[in-house]
Structure 1
Amino acid sequence: MLLPSLILVVSFLFITHPFSVRTAPGPSPAPSSALGGEWRLLHESIGISAMHMQLLKNNKVVIFDRTDFGPSNISLPNGRCRDDPNDKVLKTDCTAHSILYDVHSNSFRALTVQTDTWCSSGAVLANGTLVQTGGFNDGDHAVRTIAACRGEGCDWVEFPHALRERRWYASNQILPDGRVVIVGGRAQYNYEFYPGDSRSIRLEFLRETKDGYENNLYPFLHLLPDGNLFIFANRQSIVLDYKQDRVVKQFPAITGGDSRNYPSSGSSVLLPLDENINPVAAEVMICGGSSHNAFQLAEKGTFLRAATTCGRLRVTDDQPVWEMEKMPSARVMSDMLLLPNGDVIIINGAGSGAAGWEAGRNPVTTPHIYKPGAPAGRRFTSVAASPRPRMYHSTAILLADGRVLVGGSNPHIYYNFTGVDFPTDLSLESFSPPYLSPEFDPLRPRIVRVSGAVGYNASFTVTFRVAEFLEAGAVSVRIMAPPFNTHSFSMSQRMVVLRGAEVSCLGSEMYAAAALGPSALEIAPPGYYVLFVVHARVPSSGIWIQIQ
């Protein structure tokens, strides 16, 4: 039974743990020095192309690719090899297809994954363990787990036949009861739970949204404040009561006619849930995508311009309607990440084509930052461009220090570094958004400690230091759930603006913010979150907390 208590585990970013390094670290990360943000190359090669990423509570990042393309560019340690008689390319493979990246030391080591993880999904359990589901070939019914552990023994544990159905291109969402719901996949018009009861539940909505080109794979899932599940596929969306196995609401189709899910891959976020507003409103935002037949035309050499629009739907309204607006550029295969100050960054992707091998053209290397609360027409800002195209099979996640970690891009069946428009990219970069610029250092809060007996609906205090304090109303306390990122969708991504944040001055640039823990498991499911203090839209570095 889940206990309604909130246990805060403070893990400051300058504290590190022993970490076994098998490759030399690249250049050290640096803060941004420009108001347009700053890119920094962390590693020219991590040995694999980053198709999937997950930040863990110990500030390690699990990164992995598929296993069925042949050798990678990093060897397994100690002469180990992967023997897989089912592999389509290499039965004995002595290279790694997964790594563990240490954010603090900017180093990484190889991990061993046995079954094929191609186009799989994942979520983090309440205890901080990554549960990774499905894939291709011998991995399509598999569940894999990796804990936020230390040392050489910290590696993947695999259960090859743990799922009821084949899960390839499915999506996951962590639930208030601690289970993970796994929705859809290629030719799967159903969902199941992990841990589950060995059954799958039919969802006709997934069959209805499958057109001749699919476009409903990797459906967008968002947990709503009432505990129900928002599901978006192709152009349609519903609310599913997964406890009663019934659809309780259907929304109008998103405006414009473009498809938004794989392979017409747009992206989606649930905008921050603000507990200072009663009742809490839930608003979904979806950006980018492409025409429903973009992938098939790309196979014939015609690359259609990607979608140029974003849509916002306030799901909790009585009669929701899509509010549409235009992005600064057409975009497909981009990632949308919530930033600590409540903005959304749109990063990676292409300007034409679709997701799939060789199906994208015109890389879009300039990220856009979207301010949800700004007036219409003034919400988008373009920031510094990356020198590297990030096309199909690229990834991006937010780190606890406020940077965005970016990797991947391999639009080829195998690793291909020459003679192609977009060579396989094994590099790892960080992007420091404008709020990390030194110009904002006087306004930047620095968390000193978290104190008080804290539980759901109970008060706690965050003590922080700031050089130039503006006003108490400029301070908020927020928690963020780090998501599982792959194929332009960050699964279980969530931000909650906590109630209160009443600020008192302690003297000598020291302040205390009194806040209340989340009101319900449906608002913040049990698990590990990163807590930020935001002052005048400038966030602190985050600290880890556990809600259980």
Structure 2
Amino acid sequence: MKNRQLALLALSLAAAASALGGNTQVSAMMMFLGNLEKVYILDKSEANQATFNGVPAMGAVYDIASRTASTMGVSTNVFCASGLHLPNGSFVTFGGNAAVGPGGGTGDPAFNATFGDFDGRKAIRVLNPCGSSDDFSSPQCQWFDNSSLLSMQSMRWYSTAEARADGSIAIIGGMTGGGYINRNTPNTDPATQGMQFMVKTSGLNAYPHTFLMPSGKMFLQANYSTMLWDPDTNTETDLPDMPGQIVRVYPASGATAMLPLTPENNWTPTVIFCVGQLSWPWADTWTIPSSNKCHTITPEPTDGSTSVDYVEVDDMLETGRTMGQFIALPDLTMLVINGGGNGTAGYSSRTLNTLQLPFGESLASAPVGKPAIYNPRAPAGSQWSNAGFDTSSIARLYHSSAILLPDASVLVAGSNPNVDVNTNVVFPTTYTAEVFYPSYFAASNRPTFTGAPSTLTYGGQFFDLTLPSSAYTGSANDAAENTTVVLIRGGWTTHAMNMGQRSMQLNNTYTVNSDGSIQLHVSQLPPNPNLFQPGPALLFVTVSDAADAVAVALPSSVGNDNVTGSGSGNSTGSGDSNNNNGKSGASHTGAIVGGIIAAIAAVGVLGALFGVWRARQRRAAARQASSARGYPMGGTTSVRAAAGGAGGRALRGSDSSAFAPVPQGSLNEGGAWAAGASASALSLDGRPPSPYYDDARSHSAEFDPYHQNAPRVSNASARPGRF
């Protein structure tokens, strides 16, 4: 446990910049925060005017400071892929769509010469985020996207990715093809899936909602069904259905997230689901209001409860919001942003009732431009608020996204309910980004702190953070008593989801010093990596009016009645707006003190690296030195297949898979992502080609992340100059 670490790098907050976010170059269907400086953006293959190597770009890197974006090379069609972080701070995406050309035409699914895109349905793409001082023209700063060297065995379009405590990634669901699906009629396709839940929910299980639980099991929700899945035994345990059979997965695309894990709730995961709709195909979706209902569920209660069920919480304000997206904020509230009041995700040229759609190809209407805040700690009847928030004039519907930035603002981008680029319809392809500033940006005092560690561990010795007297105003005791330390991972965002998003309050006590400074004694993470999987994160200190819980294992808090802060003005704030012009609201949330995110380097270089589950004893000795430098995944030398499933079949259908990142080492020992490695330096001869695992084995089988038996077809020579 003690060697498992989360890499962190301290940074003080700067003043908020303009709310206009600049041009993203490609429409932001997907985004993730790569490091303190860069956000990475992905789009489907379409006729973007911005190009890379002479063809329409599918990727871009967005510079947070300058609000500008530059295109990046992506070879395979990333349309409706899944993605996640790796333990060392790299990112990986899975699957996508076949190659397409103008107007979404398929033609040859393997490659389209006009758009220059390859089939992405089996693709695994890996990126090592770089900073402003790095050379973005080098392969080390670009996407590794070469299916001849790394790919899945199953096609996956609209799959979900969720990290496990050992650093591997479970890839759940997905389709091999098709189009807009919003029906509650089971597929007639052969039930080849190894996960019965995916058969049961077929028709409405694209992008299944998936969250790792404290036990290591995974909570899954699709259609209106719910279950717990044990990836080690492939056991499925049914949980209650969604109340009212409301559908929250794509294309209903309800806002869904895990609520903050806090000492108050004993770091027990509760998942919230809001809105949703099911109305296709015998209705015109854009005319039907989305549900405004919200429900929570605690799949593994720790309060002695013996039953698990959904609980209805406050309805959303004013209207429902299909495609709304939850963003965890450092004050332990949840922002919901983007979406429409009517309809669903997706686009179409017609419905069974209407041959000419009124909003171009959009199946949603009535954009909801005003964000709202959900406070899970507020009493019933007052959990939602939007006081002081402006309404954005930019429609953010299908294929819009949002992500938390290091300064605690929120980058909002995308929207493209069109089969190809179309800027001449009511809801056009959108390249303009915005930055939303939550209410705490109205605080006049934005202080700093020192002492942040470079890594965090699961359990172990507490660490101290020091806030100077300028960090607050008023009584030092009051400020110290109402300060929280929060760890946030923003996740990988697409389709109103943030895969991997987590928010955790770390326990702390304090000492008020005679010079007015406050020393926070902060616990490490709870000693269970299932609660917050290893990888990059943001660390915030928040001074607010919400008293923090006191941890038993920490030193006693020591106050000083004779000390006050020297900060100017108030350390608390009021409402803010999308355009950052007015600060007229009354929503009090406190001053955010600092933002911290992982230091990120090339895979296999970082000191707080990661290793693998070594499934073969005969490899253990040869890899001992490499794994000692890396991130230990557990105390055993073998683990059962993460996807489970009965034996007897050569390959599984699109139910679940596992991706275990390779460690640092020689090319013969899995060093594909080591520093300096490039596509030309890798060979399929004499080395296992992939850390991806997707074939059926018995439950007693060992999980070998180097095992791969699917044939490979190289596309490296089909596109000169591209990887």
Q: TM-score range by the shorter chain?
A: 0.7 to 0.9
- CA gap of 1:246–1:275, structure 2 versus 1, over 3 A, is same
- Paired amino acid for 1:127: N
1:74-94 deviation line (CA, Å, top 9, x unaligned):
132xxx23xxxxxxxxxxx2x
Structure 2: tracts of 5 or more residues without a match = 99-118, 178-191, 348-361, 545-588, 600-607, 609-630, 632-723
Is the counterpart of residue 12 in structure 1 residue 17 in structure 2? Answer: no
Specify the alignment match of 1:425 in structure 2: 430
Residue deviations 1:87-108 (CA, integer Å, cap 9, x gap) = xxxxxx2x32211011123222
Kindly indicate whether the alpha-carbon contact (under 8 Å) linking 1:356 and 1:392 is maintained by their aligned counterparts in 2: yes
Matched, 1:41 2:20: yes
Q: What is the deviation of 1:520? A: 1.9
Map 1:432-511 onto structure 2 (within 5 A). Answer: 432-437=437-442, 440-442=443-445, 444-450=446-452, 455-458=457-460, 459-465=462-468, 466-468=471-473, 469=476, 470-499=478-507, 501-511=508-518
Cα displacement (A) at 1:59: 3.0
Q: Summarize the Cα distance change of 1:471–1:359 in structure 2 as closer, same or farther, 3 Å threshold.
A: same
Cross-structure match for 1:544: 597
1:396 aligns with 2:391: no
Q: Which amino acid aligns with 2:283?
A: L
Structure 2 equivalent of residue 167 of structure 1: 156
Q: Is the 8 A contact 1:532 1:540 kept in 2?
A: yes
Q: Which residue of 2 aligns with 1:320?
A: 308
Distance in 1 between residues matched to 2:398 and 2:454, nearest whole Å: 46
Asked if residue 157 in structure 1 is aligned to residue 155 in structure 2, the reply is no
In the TM superposition, residue 42 of structure 1 has moved relative to its aligned partner by 1.7
1:267 aligns with 2:262: no
- State which of 85, 95, 109 in structure 2 corresponds to 1:124: 85
Residue of structure 2 aligned with 1:376, choices 376, 380, 385: 380
Separation of aligned partners in 2, 1:380 and 1:302: 25
Q: Which residue of structure 1 lines up, in the alignment, with residue 393 of structure 2? A: 387
Deviation at 1:237, TM superposition (A): 1.1
Per-residue deviation at 1:404? 0.6
Closer, same or farther: CA 319–369 of 1 in aligned 2, 3 Å: same
1:452/1:460 contact within 8 Å kept: no
- The whole-number CA distance in structure 2 between the counterparts of 1:232 and 1:258 is 11
1:75 equivalent in structure 2: 51
Q: Which residue of 287, 298, 302 corresponds with 1:303?
A: 287
Q: Distance in 2 between matches of 1:166 and 1:56?
A: 26
**Map of 1:286 onto structure 2:** 273
2: distance between equivalents of 1:96 and 1:54?
17
Cα–Cα, structure 1 residues 388 and 179, in superposed 2: closer, same or farther, change >3 Å? same
Determine the structure 2 residue equivalent to 1:415.
421
Contact residue 64 and residue 99 of structure 1 kept, 8 A: yes
Shift of 1:304: 1.3
How far is 1:413 from its partner? 0.8
Displacement of 1:10: 2.1
Structure 1 residue aligned with 2:123: 142
Q: Is this contact kept in 1: 2:8–2:536, CA < 8 A?
A: no
Give the deviation of 1:506 after TM superposition: 3.4
- Structure with greater proportional strand content: 1
TM superposition score normalised by structure 2? 0.64
Map of 1:344 onto structure 2? 334
| Map of 1:111 onto structure 2 | 72
Match for residue 19 of structure 1?
none
Paired residues for 1:87-106 under 5 Å: 93=55, 95-106=56-67
Structure 1 residue 336: Cα displacement: 0.9
Q: Is the 8 A contact 1:49 1:409 kept in 2?
A: yes
Residues 408/512 of structure 1: CA separation in 2 closer, same or farther (3 Å cut): same
Q: Is the 8 A contact 2:293 2:315 kept in 1?
A: yes
* Map 1:206-221 → 2, pairs under 5 A: 206-210=198-202, 214-221=203-210
Q: Percent identity?
A: 28
2:370 pairs with one of 363, 366, 370: 366
Task: State whether residues 193 and 199 of structure 2, in contact with CA within 8 Å, keep that contact through their aligned partners in structure 1.
Answer: no
SS at match of 1:205: helix
Other-structure match for 1:234 = 223
Q: 1:417 to 1:142 in 2, by over 3 A?
A: same
Alignment-mate amino acid for residue 376 of structure 1: A
Q: Distance in 1 between matches of 2:196 and 2:142?
A: 38
Over 3 Å counting, the alpha-carbon distance change for 1:187 and 1:258 in structure 2 is farther
User: Deviations 1:379-434 (Å, cap 9, x if unpaired)?
Assistant: 1012321111101110011111100100001111111111x221211111100001
Amino acid corresponding to residue 198 of structure 2 in structure 1: L
Larger Rg: 2
In structure 1, how many angstroms separate the alpha carbons of the residues matched to 2:523 and 2:385? 33
Write the letter of the residue equivalent to 1:109: S
**8 A Cα contact 2:75 2:146, kept in partner:** no
